[in-house]
Amino acid sequence: MFLIIALLVVTLGYVASCVVWPFKACRTCKGEGKFRSPFIRAVRLCGVCGSTGLRPRAGLKVWNAYRRLHHKNRRNR
């Protein structure tokens, strides 16, 4: 029983953290949206995150997938 409650708390905590902060810093540019080329003195925009420095977290992807699925089911009806 305790395990179920602990799992519920962890899941709710993760969901809450996804609601509050649905994005995480981009790993490629370390959240800056751009990075310097090591050889040429040039600043390049990060293509992975679209130069925003933010990447959607896994929870957001799951939520988007769920919403897409839900929307598709509703449309078929």
The residue ranges that bind Zn ion (CB under 5 A) are 26, 28-29, 46, 48-49
23 beta partners: 56
Distances (CA, A) of 40 to 28, 29, 37: 18, 17, 6
Closest distance to Zn ion from the beta carbon of 46 (Å): 3
Of 61 and 67, nearer to Zn ion (C-beta) is: 61
Least separation in angstroms between residue 50's CB and Zn ion is: 8
**Please, what is the minimum distance in Å from the beta carbon of residue 38 to Zn ion?**
16
Q: Which is nearer to Zn ion, 44 or 71 (CB)?
A: 44
25 bridge partner residues: 54
- What does DSSP say about strands 54-56 and 23-25: parallel, antiparallel, or unpaired? antiparallel
